[in-house]
Amino acid sequence: MSSEGHSFLLVTLRMTVPSGRKWQQYRFIENHDLRSRLVPLLGTLPLSHSLLQEPHGGQPCRFSDPAVRLWQDDDSDRWPNTLYRSFAEADGPRRGLGEVTVTLRLHSRGGSVREVSRTVNECNVRADGQLLRTQVPDVLPLDG
């Protein structure tokens, strides 16, 4: 219990790509005003690409604002291009932008669990991941 009498939740944030690679973070978060309290955890998501797979699949990211451009490095021997190349070799060919599933799991001490998930593309992982907050109540009911 916090000093205000609110219990804490164990919150897991996970990114998964179709190849099965995953990344996750854990935090204890007070079970009060959850949508606001999740912002720092969701801020740990990478800004654009998950770094779990080759992101482009031959298709560049598109943005609604024509002034926005995704920086791409044409030097194939420089990181993260070497990382992406190893993923493409391991995963095989793919067309189109890579999909990333972002999952948020909230566990109470009493065993209640709430899980929300969203599949996003590799262009805006952090911004799209923040949309998970709209699927979470401000307080998780602890009776299940």
pLDDT band per the 50, 70, 90 thresholds, residue 35? very high
Cα–Cα distance measured from residue 102 to residue 125, given in angstroms and rounded to the nearest whole number: 8
pLDDT reported for residue 69: 59
Q: Give the ranges where 1-144 is alpha helix by DSSP (H).
A: 34-37, 39-42, 81-91, 125-130
Mean pLDDT, rounded, of the chain: 88
Task: Identify whether the C-beta of residue 45 lies closer than 8 Å to the C-beta of residue 68.
Answer: no
Residue type at 67? A
Q: Give tens-digit pLDDT for 63-102.
A: 666 665 555 667 878 888 888 889 999 999 888 888 999 9
Which stretch of DSSP H or E encloses residue 115? strand 113-121
pLDDT reported for residue 95: 82
Percent over 90 (pLDDT), the chain: 58
Chain-centroid distance, C-alpha 112: 22
Tell me the whole-structure pTM to 2 decimals: 0.85
Rounded (10°) CA dihedral 28, 33, 35, 38 = -20
pLDDT band per the 50, 70, 90 thresholds, residue 142? confident
Q: What are phi and psi of 84, to 5 degrees?
A: -60, -40
Q: Give tens-digit pLDDT for 95-133.
A: 888 899 999 999 999 898 999 999 998 888 999 999 999
